Amino acid sequence: MTKVDTNTTIGFIGTGVMGKSMATHLIHAGYTLLVYNRTKSKTDELVELGATWKETVAEIAQEADVIITMIGYPKDVEETYFGVNGILTNARAGSYVIDMTTSTPTLAKQIYQAAKETGIFALDAPVSGGDIGAKNAKLTIMVGGDQEAFEAVSPILHTMGTNVLLQGEAGAGHHTKMSNQIAIASGMMAVCEAILYAESAGLNPSTVLKSIAAGSAGSWSLSNLGPRIIVEDYSPGFFVKHFIKDMTIALHSAKEMGIRTPGLELTKSLYEELAAKGEENSGTQALYKLLSNQLS
């Protein structure tokens, strides 16, 4: 097992809204960072900070001791890890691969097994906290995999987050993230409805937030996304299209386990309606626009 310290070379694949901030913290912590993104310009700021751009996923895998992926959809994860030019074909034995994308538990188990067969240590480690948590290095990181591998890369994970827990074997990280997304789904709908109600009643929504966010109704979404709704800031901390992807995964997993999730089903249907009206690249707080009839 490779020793992980500040001399470790980390490859970071996927430098979007979340990934760029996460990678920045790794640079500031003193790690040597290699970066790749399908849109090269999204790595420019990281290169200016000292990261090294690589032309392919294969190059990242061949040179890095630890490879982190933070990409879009399960199909992207599958393409990035498997195949001739994928991570698992090119990574060295003894290296670590950490998928921080919100993906499926089943795929996480497939990656873990394939990695194990070639002497690579695999962890699934999806995150919660949005763009604010990523920028402030205060993400919650939910990890699935072996205890020894988790402990080895724990310093890296703590560079990006403050609540970092091993939840169980491979796939457990993604199952935990699905629990997180289920809680957020109905909660986000409630935040939008609460602000809409306050405004319709002629109240100052900012003052209302000061009262209810400090009580039993308080939540991260209410405190962080509620103010954005009030000032009509619908920029993405987390994309609507990615939230729909997550809810789809959660619904599929719930049905496999034979459990009912009616709140999740309703929220997903509303977000699909929102996306159909051209808001797929907005932040999840844009649900308010749908509920308040701001969209045609």
Structural domain includes residue 1: no
- Looking at the structure, tell me whether residues 128 and 243 fall in a common domain: no
Q: Which of 137, 168, 199 is the last residue in one of the domains?
A: 168
Q: Kindly report, residue by residue over 264-292, the tens digit of the pLDDT.
A: 999 999 999 999 999 999 999 999 999 99
Reported as a pLDDT band with limits 50, 70 and 90, residue 2 is low
Residue 6 has pLDDT above 90, yes or no: no
- Looking at the structure, tell me whether residues 33 and 80 fall in a common domain: yes
Query: What is the end-to-end Cα distance of the chain in Å, rounded?
Result: 57
Structural domain includes residue 296: no
Q: For the residues 254-259, what does the mean pLDDT come to?
A: 95
Structural domain includes residue 3: no
Reported as a pLDDT band with limits 50, 70 and 90, residue 130 is confident
Residue 253 has pLDDT above 90, yes or no: yes
- Looking at the structure, tell me whether residues 102 and 246 fall in a common domain: no
- Looking at the structure, tell me whether residues 145 and 280 fall in a common domain: no
Mean pLDDT score of the chain:
95
- Looking at the structure, tell me whether residues 182 and 237 fall in a common domain: yes
CATH code of the domain in which 50 resides: 3.40.50.720
- Looking at the structure, tell me whether residues 186 and 143 fall in a common domain: no
- Looking at the structure, tell me whether residues 223 and 282 fall in a common domain: yes
Q: Kindly report, residue by residue over 159-207, the tens digit of the pLDDT.
A: 999 999 999 999 999 999 999 999 999 999 999 999 999 999 999 999 9
- Looking at the structure, tell me whether residues 149 and 182 fall in a common domain: no
User: Which structure tokens are listed for 223?
Assistant: 């405190």
Measured distance CA(207)–CA(194) in Å, rounded: 13
Measured distance CA(24)–CA(160) in Å, rounded: 9
Measured distance CA(107)–CA(88) in Å, rounded: 13
- Looking at the structure, tell me whether residues 37 and 151 fall in a common domain: yes
Domain count, the chain: 2
Structural domain includes residue 204: yes
Residue 3 has pLDDT above 90, yes or no: no
Residue 167's pLDDT is 98
User: Residue 269: CB partners within 8 Å, gap ≥ 6?
Assistant: none
Is residue 115 a contact partner of residue 146, using CB atoms and an 8 Å limit?
A: no
Q: Kindly report, residue by residue over 39-60, the tens digit of the pLDDT.
A: 999 999 999 999 999 999 999 9
The three-class DSSP label of residue 32 is strand
Structural domain includes residue 264: yes
- Looking at the structure, tell me whether residues 143 and 273 fall in a common domain: no
Burial class (CB in 10 A: 0-12, 13-18, 19+), 195: buried
User: Residue 223: CB partners within 8 Å, gap ≥ 6?
Assistant: 209, 213
Structural domain includes residue 4: no
Measured distance CA(246)–CA(232) in Å, rounded: 25
Residue 7's pLDDT is 86
Residue 131 has pLDDT above 90, yes or no: no
Q: For the residues 128-132, what does the mean pLDDT come to?
A: 89
- Respond yes or no: is residue 138 known to be catalytic: no
Structural domain includes residue 215: yes
> What 8-state DSSP symbol labels residue 41?
G
Q: Kindly report, residue by residue over 86-127, the tens digit of the pLDDT.
A: 999 999 999 999 999 999 999 999 999 999 999 999 999 999
Residue 1's pLDDT is 63
Q: Which of 112, 134, 168 is the last residue in one of the domains?
A: 168
Q: Which residue has the tokens 């873990």?
A: 112
User: Which structure tokens are listed for 287?
Assistant: 């649900």
Q: Which of 168, 201, 231 is the last residue in one of the domains?
A: 168
How many Cβ atoms from other residues are within 10 Å of residue 2's Cβ?
15
Catalytic residue among 109, 177, 245, 289: 177
- Looking at the structure, tell me whether residues 14 and 148 fall in a common domain: yes
CATH code of the domain in which 273 resides: 1.10.1040.10
- Looking at the structure, tell me whether residues 74 and 182 fall in a common domain: no
Q: For the residues 24-30, what does the mean pLDDT come to?
A: 97
User: Which structure tokens are listed for 101?
Assistant: 């994308």
Q: Can you give the residue range of the structural domain that contains 122?
A: 9-168
User: Which structure tokens are listed for 231?
Assistant: 């000032």
Structural domain includes residue 206: yes
